[in-house]
């Protein structure tokens, strides 16, 4: 079953095919009304269910528009509106939904829940974010780099600074799958997942973990950050203080390559992980990145449904 649970669910060639399809479909729609269907409407008659155990803006809207443009439809539900919220098991929920729709996108907390859902579902399951990873977002990040740089991501140099979280883990996995260099700069005590790091390094990934923001971004072509307090995490003054030296501001961007790209999956906490000057500045591609969720998701959906 072609589940998209992480960036190692497809092969490297599969990831490449998804990125190429995303670029191709975006280019083919230049100047089109947003609600117009792609000419081939490849998912006509297909339905995607989306189940959210956490809030979402970009993931919800982009998957919904992706299905419309591909000719299909969606059912969207918060877990609290479902029997899932009253204790029906994740596996039983998956068995039932899998009998009715063609694919399911799940946003949840513990990654194991996503895996249990996929195990029990008879249709492809897509990771719409867990505490461990956010693979759909990183596909959009890579697409954004490639369209700005005009070349494939392989061989490029990226830096991630801030909290070692689900975004960091998926970037680490991506760098080892698609062979780009990644330096991760996080405060002591906020490292990314050790298992994800070990697997990526064993795969031949070129990933440096440092505890200094300047060392992380030095000469990088892309600087990425994310919120310091992810959904479900406890906000604390101590954590914010530890993160402050990792803020992406003009001084930190100046240490990256000239014209380095700035990426942020959003939502941003302006004045914390990024300043207004950087997020709204000429090096920021965060708004293209948000739009590219739509285009990348279309290609992920097609891969899951065996249409790539
Ligand atoms: N970047 C992202 O996943 O945004 P949402 O939480 O709004 O879906
Ligand atoms: N790390 C963030 C990403 C939000 C899209 C979170 O999990 O809340």
Q: Of 6, 226, 295, 304, which one is the catalytic site residue?
A: 226
pLDDT for the residue 258 = 97
Question: Please, what is the average pLDDT of the chain?
Answer: 97
- Tell me the CB-side half-sphere exposure of residue 265, using CA atoms within 13 A: 30
What's the predicted TM-score (pTM) here?
0.98
Q: pLDDT category, 213, cuts 50, 70, 90?
A: very high
Mean pLDDT along residues 230-245: 96
pLDDT at 123: 98
Residue 206: the pLDDT is: 83
- Of 50, 54, 57, the one to substitute when testing ligand 1's pocket (max ligand atoms within 8 A of C-beta) is 57
Q: Which of 248, 258, 163, 192 is nearest to 220 (CA)?
A: 258
Provide the pLDDT for residue 281. Answer: 98
Residues in the chain: 308
User: By the 8 A CB rule, do 285 and 261 touch?
Assistant: yes
To test the pocket of ligand 2, the residue of 167, 193, 268 to mutate (highest count of ligand atoms within 8 Å of its CB) is 167
For 74, phi and psi rounded to 5 degrees? -135, 155
Which pLDDT score, from 0 to 100, does residue 85 have? 83
Q: What is the mean predicted confidence (pLDDT) over 85-95?
A: 94
pLDDT given for residue 105 in this prediction: 98
Give the torsion through C-alpha atoms of 210, 213, 218, 224, to 10 deg: 100
């Amino acid at each position: 079953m072609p589940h998209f649970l992480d960036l190692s669910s497809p092969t490297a060639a599969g990831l490449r095919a998804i990125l190429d399809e995303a670029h191709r479909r975006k280019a083919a729609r230049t100047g089109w009304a947003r609600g117009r269907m792609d000419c081939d409407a490849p998912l006509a008659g297909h339905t995607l269910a989306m189940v959210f155990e956490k809030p979402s803006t970009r993931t919800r809207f982009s998957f919904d528009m992706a299905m419309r443009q591909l000719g299909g439809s969606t059912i969207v539900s918060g877990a609290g509106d479902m029997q899932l919220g009253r204790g029906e098991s994740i596996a039983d929920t998956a068995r039932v939904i899998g009998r009715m729709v063609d694919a399911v996108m799940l946003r949840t907390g513990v990654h194991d829940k996503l895996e249990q859902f996929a195990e029990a579902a008879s249709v492809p399951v897509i990771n719409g974010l867990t505490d461990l990873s956010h693979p759909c977002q990183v596909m959009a990040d890579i697409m954004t780099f490639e369209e700005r740089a005009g070349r494939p991501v392989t061989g490029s140099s990226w830096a991630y600074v801030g909290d070692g979280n689900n975004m960091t883990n998926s970037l680490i996995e991506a760098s080892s799958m698609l062979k780009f260099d990644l330096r991760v700069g996080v405060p002591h005590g906020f490292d990314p997942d050790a298992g994800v790091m070990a697997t990526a390094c064993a795969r031949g990934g070129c990933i440096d973990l440092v505890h200094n923001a300047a060392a992380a971004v030095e000469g990088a072509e892309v600087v990425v950050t994310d919120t310091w307090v992810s959904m479900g995490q406890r906000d604390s003054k101590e954590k914010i203080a530890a993160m402050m030296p990792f803020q992406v501001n003009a001084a930190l961007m100046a240490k990256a390559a000239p014209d380095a790209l700035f990426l942020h999956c959003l939502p941003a906490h302006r004045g914390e992980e990024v300043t207004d000057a950087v997020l709204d500045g000429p090096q920021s591609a965060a708004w293209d990145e948000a739009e590219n969720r739509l285009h990348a998701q279309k290609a992920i959906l097609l891969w899951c449904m065996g249409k790539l």
